Structure 1
Amino acid sequence: MKIILAGSSHWHAGMHLDAARAAGGEIIGVWDEDQQHAKMFARSNSLRSIDRFDDVLAAGAGVILLMGHPRSVPGRARRIIEAGIPLILEKPAASSTEILSELLELTRQRNAFVSVPFPNRFGPAVIAFRKLQRQGRAGAIAYGHFRIVNGPPERYAEDGVPWMVDPGIGGGGALRNLGIHGIDAALDLAAGTLRLRTSYIGNRIHNSPVEDHALLVLEDEAGAIFTVEAGYTFASMRPGGDFEWRIVSANATLIDHGDKAISATLDDGAGTELTPEPTATRYRLCMRDTFDRLARNEPATISLSDYVAAMSLIDTAYRKARE
């Protein structure tokens, strides 16, 4: 699979480079709005830099991974879709849900392939739970808890993307940036419509324009409760922070902490340690799945409509918190 990494200055560019290589991709070029950054990134990784975005479109890529500033990404995504090239769209891809919805409409009109990386869909707890469901052993979901709490927002300035703490550009803070992964997990596991019951969003520690902590309580049509917690309140800048994916059903409990994961099932009294998958390397699984889908000419596992659904629910959470 020939792939171009468009947006080398995004803080996830290194993870996507690793993911593309691990998935067997042939990286045929690197591009960025900042040509010098693209050249430096390409040189340090033995890749070819591309100066003009027009040349990105003409390079013959089997898929383009687009990442960058939310105000410039939508226009470039539109050009990729109109050129008929499959797209992997990294977040944040727009400053508002409305702009993403317009892109989704174009995607539907063109029957375009657009995949969005939500790598925790490929975490060990989720994969093990889906296997139990296929075996008819999971039982109804009772509760899910999805927590991502990372270090303070100053880390974005260190990564060269200070606009992440500008609500007019990033569209919000910890909930929009980190909590969206938990929202996607709840939407993916929920039975029917997911309703927001409680929304707490605040800034308790850092003097930042965006929230540093959020806690949501959601309920699906079957009565399952999902809580989503996101924050910039972990007292360290190290990667990983405080991470937990917990799924509890009638017959199973699965817990994923990134560096450790376990599964317990009532019907056989078993308790097992699952093979862990570090959160950073889950992008490899996401990329491999995207390549496989493209090779089989199948729709993306995680699509732009999933992204829009998560963004819309976050919009509702912000409104409810204000009220």
Structure 2
Amino acid sequence: MTENRRQSRRGFLSGITAAAVAGGLPGELRSQTRNPARRPQRVAVIGVGHYHATLAPFYLKILQDEKVDIVGVHDPDRAVAEDRARRCGSTPFTDYRAMIDSTKPEFVLSLNRHVDMPGPFRFLVDAGIPFLAEKPWGVDDRTVNELADYAEKKKAWATAPMSFRYSWWAQTAKKMVESGELGTISHILVRFNQPGIQRYIDEGNSWMLTKAQAGGGALLNLGFHGFDLCRYITGEDPKVISAVTSHSIWKREVEDYAFVTLLTPGGIVFLNEASYTFPANGSDSERKIAAEKALVRATPAGDGVQIIGSGRNETLMAPPGFVGSWAGVVKDCLDRIGRGEPPPASVRDCAAAVSLTFDAYRAAGETS
């Protein structure tokens, strides 16, 4: 690496960290440079039978790593509530209202089956407790938009885990787009192909495979993140131009594959691909921007960004201590509450991603 390249990289890292401190990027970088004030210590979890509690991203483990007190865990199935309570040293509840009243948490993580998400959401808004609610908040876009309206009206501290924002690629791409460094952007691609459906069945979450209880399949569950990244990186509200879904592998009522083409008002084409078709453990993922002056893509491991342009081919690695993905979301929420700051993503951000998902379903001929 030449001296000029080293200087360029140092300047880039300095600039992106400064932007994070100023509020331009998610909070995992800000939290490295500002000491958090009073963070929530008492945390409760609603709907802990959701697979995310004990499978990737392992929410219970994330909370334990944050050294908070998990004062209560809820699930309507007593056996599930008791099992999850044993795993994290907490107290089980089958009534989330009773749990909130009894444990008086300072922060709540709300999971649940998708069809059951609206009730706890409204309850937490009314209770005035800051909360992180797993997406999509419901099984149709009308319900989710109504929830966003309600939270905004009540000025609730409420957010969804927009975990793909918490990657070095997303943060680097956003800064480069905003600075104009890339010139005209042709297209952006986000591919998120995951293993099949057996993991949901094994974890007692077969409800994920029915439209009545889940709302949709791979596009709502995984492609949601691509829709959010489009808005986050471009700063624009795109429209669905075309969409196709497939049920060919698992032959369930929810799709196992989807491909959606979006177009922003500024002319950026965004390609969003999601599936349950990866044939083994692991993932087939890709994230890149193709622009006039550079191609910017995530490294295979996701911990770096490759930038290719005229006379330029360099890889920028995430700085030491970078906290990404779902762990970054949880940490950012706790830190922001401690500093008296608003959520990292608005309720309207979640509603917008869900609305795009159902626009795509309608374009593809799916019924919700």
Please, what TM-score do these two structures have when normalized by structure 2?
0.80
**3-state DSSP class of the match of 2:277?**
coil
Whether 2:330 is the aligned partner of 1:287: answer: yes
Q: Give the CA deviation at 1:83.
A: 0.7
Query: Which residues of 2 match residues 137-156 of structure 1 at below 5 A?
Result: 137-156=181-200
Residue 43 (structure 2) aligns with? 3
1:306 is matched with 349
Q: Which amino acid aligns with 1:6?
A: I
- 2:150 is paired with a residue whose SS is helix
Q: Distance in 2 between matches of 1:221 and 1:243?
A: 26
1:40 aligns with 2:83: yes
Deviation at 1:310, TM superposition (A): 1.0
Secondary structure of the corresponding residue to residue 115 of structure 2: coil
The equivalent residue for 2:242 is 198
Q: Residues 188 and 130 (structure 1 numbering): CA distance in 2 closer, same or farther, change over 3 Å?
A: closer
Equivalent of residue 130 in structure 1, options 174, 180, 183: 174
Q: Unaligned 5+ residue runs, structure 1? A: none
* CA offset digits 1:53-108 (Å, max 9, x no partner): 22322222121101112232211211111011111101242111111122112101
2:290 aligned partner, one-letter code: V
Aligned to 2:62: 19
Alignment partner, residue 109 of structure 1? 153
Q: What do residues 108-161 of structure 1 show as CA deviations (whole Å, max 9, x unaligned)? A: 111001110021111120122234456653444332111111122233211211
Q: State how far apart, in whole Å, the 2-side matches of 1:76 and 1:178 are.
A: 23
- Residue 172 of structure 1 and its aligned partner are, at CA, apart by 1.4
| 8 A contact 1:125–1:247 mirrored in 2 | no
Counterpart in 2 of 1:243?
A: 285
Tell me the alpha carbon deviations over residues 160-190 of structure 1, each in whole angstroms, 9 at most, x when there is no partner.
1111111122111111111111111112223
263-272 vs 52-61, which deviates more?
Answer: 263-272
SS of corresponding position for 2:242:
strand
Query: 121, 126, 142: which one pairs with 1:77?
Result: 121
Q: Are 1:57 and 1:83, in contact at CA under 8 Å, matched by a contact in 2?
A: no
Q: 1:281 to 1:38 in 2, by over 3 A?
A: farther
**Structure 2: any 5+ residue segments left out of the alignment?**
1-39
Tell me which amino acid in the other structure corresponds to 1:249. A
When Rg is computed on C-alpha atoms for both structures, the one with the higher figure is 2
Q: Distance in 1 between matches of 2:194 and 2:177?
A: 31
Following superposition, the deviation at residue 268 of structure 1 comes to 7.1
- Contact (CA 8 Å) 2:170, 2:233: kept in 1 or not? no
1:29–1:191 Cα change, 3 Å: closer
Task: Specify which of 135, 138, 141 is matched with residue 91 of structure 1.
Answer: 135
The aligned runs of 1:205-244 (5 Å cut-off) are 205-236=249-280, 238=281, 240-244=282-286
How much has 1:230 moved relative to structure 2? 0.8
Give 3-state SS (helix, strand or coil) of 1:71's partner. helix
Q: Partners of 1:224 and 1:175 in 2: how far apart? A: 21
CA offsets, 1:274-301, max 9 Å, x none? 2499xx9611111111112212222212
Deviation above 4 Å: which 4+ runs of structure 1? 133-136
Q: Which segment is superposed worse, 71-80 or 82-91?
A: 71-80
Answering whether residue 312 of structure 2 is matched by residue 272 of structure 1, we say: no
Q: Which deviates more from structure 2 when the two are superposed, residues 97-106 or residues 213-222?
A: 97-106
What is the CA-CA distance between 1:21 and the residue it aligns to?
A: 3.1
Match of 2:296 in 1: 254
Q: Distance in 1 between matches of 2:87 and 2:67?
A: 20
Q: Whole-Å Cα distance in 2 between the matches of residues 197 and 129 of structure 1? A: 23
Compute the TM-score of the two structures, normalised by the length of structure 1. 0.90
Question: Taking structure 1 as reference, are residues 100 and 143 closer, same or farther at Cα in structure 2, changes over 3 Å only?
Answer: same
* Structure 2 residue aligned with 1:30: 73
2:213 and 2:124 map into 1 onto residues whose CA distance is 22
Report whether the alignment pairs 1:174 with 2:214.
no
